[in-house]
Structure 1
């Protein structure tokens, strides 16, 4: 059984992922600002209330790993922040708030985990089709989609830097999934796949994808959005 870190577990895909791994017998560290009771009471889930936008709060993760787990087998960077409004009204603070969660937190948490990642471990970053070069883009998502492009490049760089240590870094660029975040960006739109359905794919990819891929970006989308 593996030790799996998942961010953004308060709702949507992250919540479903935490339950899937835990119900399969794996140990899960669920990281989110708000912690659902269903995760708190699960015997295989440890919950940390962390504001990923605040770098100092990630010390909670560092302390947990040093004192409890000692080893991490997989990290799923699932947490995301979205602001949807016209570019002319976006402020630097808006961009910073999105990038703190979608980019800086990914880098900071990965850096904390590196000493605990062993050969054969897998770091999976959940990006978006909006971050793929040449993909269909949507007005109002300048901060969000550009941040999702940034983590794609970051993952590619980390795959190169840590390949000799046998740590794999891959990105899943998701299309539309029926989550609260999708509803915020595209009110009324109905996605072809549920959060639970996408979690099933990510679950399998996290456990097995590093056997076939490293430094890759996989487009997981039937629709965009």
Structure 2
């Protein structure tokens, strides 16, 4: 786990990132974490273990004592007091990002393989306007699995949304627009958003990158006082 963080380039400096392209088979879990995956298959256990090792290394970089990272009622990671974070994993990649709560309100990351979605998935996760935009992206900028990137961006949106609301957000509840030239995307909420720093949240902005056969998306919402 000595590679430079692949997701680092799309994050601000106050967010710490640790990721890897290899599972840490010798990783140790806290007892409560071990209990959480005691009945999991090896694939799920490897994802869980390596992602948490990444997260604890990120804690160390922030000067925070290593602590267990358990799962909430919806499977979300429960971060220690004073921290916000996000975890992602897909085939061949695991990563975690952390930041002090005083600097960042919420964040969300997602990693996906740079391959087209399987048949039927795009229709289930997208709006008609998004599918039209994807057709144009594919014609003008071939070489990126834009449908998979849309999925990744929406996953990042959900991961940033949930800690603020503790509510589910359906795929059709946010319309994502991808900027292919600047590696950015926006997500306009189609449902009522939470109040953040005294203002109602109407959407998110994020960044994306295609690298090493992966698509990585990240959303970071800074504290208003910064």
Which range, TM-score by smaller chain? 0.3 to 0.5
TM-score, normalised on structure 2?
0.33
TM-score, normalised on structure 1?
0.33
Higher strand share: 2
Higher helix share: 1
